[in-house]
Amino acid sequence: MTTDTVGTRLEGKVAFITGIARGQGRAHAVRLAQEGASIIGIDICDQIPTVFYPMATREDLAETERLVKEVGGQIVTTIGDVRRREDIEAALAAGIEQFGHVDTIVANAGIMPVIGPGEQKQAWFDAVDVMLTGVWHVLDVVAPILVEQGRGGTITITSSAAGLRSIGLNTLPGQAGYTAAKHGVVGLMRLYSKELAKDFIRVNTIHPTGVNTPMVANAE
């Protein structure tokens, strides 16, 4: 990750990112800040019991803040859970109070409860709650704000290659939930992109394959 300031393409823009404490969310925050955007972020910074690798910590979140500031960016973060609509509302409100508006949404927070005891039926619910319902919460909260602002905007949802085809090696509850959630957000993207196009708001999913983050590069 470079820390050089490389452009001003996002000067005056504000980006809201979920799952910002580390991994891809952190990388998006630093890269957008390098281009001049101010950053609003939320992360749970806690463990979800069905997840068998260490999730992000408060120290990780502080490191994201440090890296954004290092490239000259401004950042407001909140510890909160995308499964809770009110946490998303609070994080956004804190950022909008500071920066006045929001332009770019990155719905990135995710978990991969696909390892560990296979009998954990709860892993299905956790995967769907975080990566499908959590994304819907983001869309449901931010879409009216973007429309009301009248300045267009972009919404990017982090799906996965697992949202395009099956990459699962098993049908355990966490794997099934991950696959269903990552396919499900494609439907949400289609629904919201059609609805929001008239307001110059673009909605996309992205579908990474393997990315070298603690989600997949861990000791478990």
Ligand X SMILES: NC(=O)c1ccc[n+]([C@@H]2O[C@H](COP(=O)([O-])OP(=O)(O)OC[C@H]3O[C@@H](n4cnc5c(N)ncnc54)[C@H](O)[C@@H]3O)[C@@H](O)[C@H]2O)c1
Of 8-16, 70-78, 79-87, 187-195, the segment contacting ligand X by CB under 6 A is: 79-87
Structure tokens at 76: 């407001």
Query: Does the annotation count 178 as an active-site position?
Result: yes
Q: Does 184 bind ligand X (CB under 6 A)?
A: no
Under a CB-based contact definition with an 8 Å cutoff, are residues 29 and 64 in contact? yes
| 170 SS3 class | coil
Distance, in Å, from the CA atom of 178 to the CA atom of 186, rounded to the nearest integer, reads 13
Burial (CB count within 10 angstroms: exposed 0-12, middle 13-18, buried 19+), residue 214: middle
Minimum Å distance from CB 198 to ligand X? Answer: 28
Q: Please state, as a whole number, how many other Cβ atoms lie within 10 Å of the Cβ of residue 40.
A: 29
Q: Does 157 bind ligand X (CB under 6 A)?
A: no
Of 68-76, 98-106, 130-138, 197-205, the segment contacting ligand X by CB under 6 A is: 130-138
Q: Does 105 bind ligand X (CB under 6 A)?
A: no
Among 109, 128, 146, 188, binds ligand X (CB under 6 A): 109
Of 7-15, 17-25, 96-104, 143-151, the segment contacting ligand X by CB under 6 A is: 17-25
Minimum Å distance from CB 136 to ligand X? Answer: 13
User: Please, which residue, 134 or 184, has the CB nearer to ligand X?
Assistant: 134
Q: Does 32 bind ligand X (CB under 6 A)?
A: no
Please provide the DSSP assignment of 175-203 as one string: HHHHHHHHHHHHHHHHHHHHHHGGGTEEE
Distance, in Å, from the CA atom of 42 to the CA atom of 81, rounded to the nearest integer, reads 8
Q: Which residues bind ligand X (CB under 6 A)?
A: 18-19, 21-25, 42-44, 55-56, 81-83, 108-111, 130-131, 134, 158, 160, 208, 210-211, 213-216
